Amino acid sequence: MNNDKFDEKAVLERVRALFAKYTDNLDIDTDTVLSSELGLTSFDVVSLANDFEEEFDIEIPDRDIAGFTTVGDILAYLKAKC
């Protein structure tokens, strides 16, 4: 995906589809907090990061995963890396 053509809405839909494996709450927007609003554990977030790596053909170092607090953090990361 070319950063100049980053379609946040399309990427958010792909991200929502990945979240469906981990939570029943798919009322997800950029401000949604992973732990408190979605009930994700740190293990879930790491597993999600692996899913993002496969879905978007990127590599996410462990140190970067720690910065994922909200869905917006993930979208910003994907925008920077894709």
- State the average pLDDT over residues 59-73: 95
Question: Which CATH superfamily groups domain 3-81?
Answer: ACP-like (1.10.1200.10)
For 36-81, the DSSP string reads TTT---HHHHHHHHHHHHHHHT----HHHHTT--BHHHHHHHHHHH
pLDDT tens per residue across span 17-44: 999 999 998 889 999 999 999 999 999 9
Bridge-partner residues for 70, per DSSP?
Answer: 33
- State the average pLDDT over residues 33-59: 94
**Cβ atoms of residues 52 and 18 within 8 Å:** yes
Q: DSSP label at 33? A: B
pTM over the 0.75 mark: yes
Residue 1 — pLDDT band, cuts 50, 70, 90?
low
Is pLDDT at 8 greater than 90 in this prediction? Answer: no
Is pLDDT at 82 greater than 60 in this prediction? Answer: yes
Instruction: From residue 13, give the alpha-carbon distance in Å to each of 43, 51, 63.
Output: 22, 14, 25
Tell me the average pLDDT of the chain. 91
